[in-house]
Amino acid sequence: MTNDEYWSIDIPGLAYERAVQLRNSLEDAAPWGVVLLDPRTNMVRGFDRPTVELLVTCLRAGLATGGLAHEDAAGAMSMLEDCEAWLQQAGGDDAATST
C-alpha cells in the first residue's frame, strides 16, 4: 500500500455513534474498509514529516543506550522501522537512511 492509497481522518470531540454513521457512509467508497480507532485505547496523531524525523532521531538515541528492556527495545525498533519506511515512501529523505 502506498501513501496515496491511505488516508486518516481525525475529528476531535466526535461521539462514537456519529463516528459509526460516518464510517457507514464511507464504506462504499473504501473497498478495503474503514477502521474506527477508539481514542481511549489508541493515540491517533497525524505526525508531520519533521515530527517523524524527530521520532527517528529519538528512537535511534534510545536504542543506542542499550538500556531498554528487551520488549521495549523490540517495540522501539519496530516503531523506528515504521517511521523510516514512511519517510522513504513519503518522498525519500536522507533522514530515513542516515545513521
- Measured CA to CA, the distance from residue 63 to residue 77 in angstroms comes to 8
Predicted TM-score (pTM) of the model is 0.67
Q: What is the dihedral of CA 52, 82, 37, 7, to 10 degrees?
A: 70
- Note the pLDDT of residue 73: 97
Q: Is 59 exposed, middle or buried (0-12, 13-18, 19+ CB in 10 A)?
A: buried
Tell me the pLDDT of the chain (99 aa) as tens digits.
Answer: 455 677 888 888 899 999 999 999 999 988 888 999 888 898 877 889 999 999 999 999 999 999 999 999 999 999 999 999 989 988 754 444 444
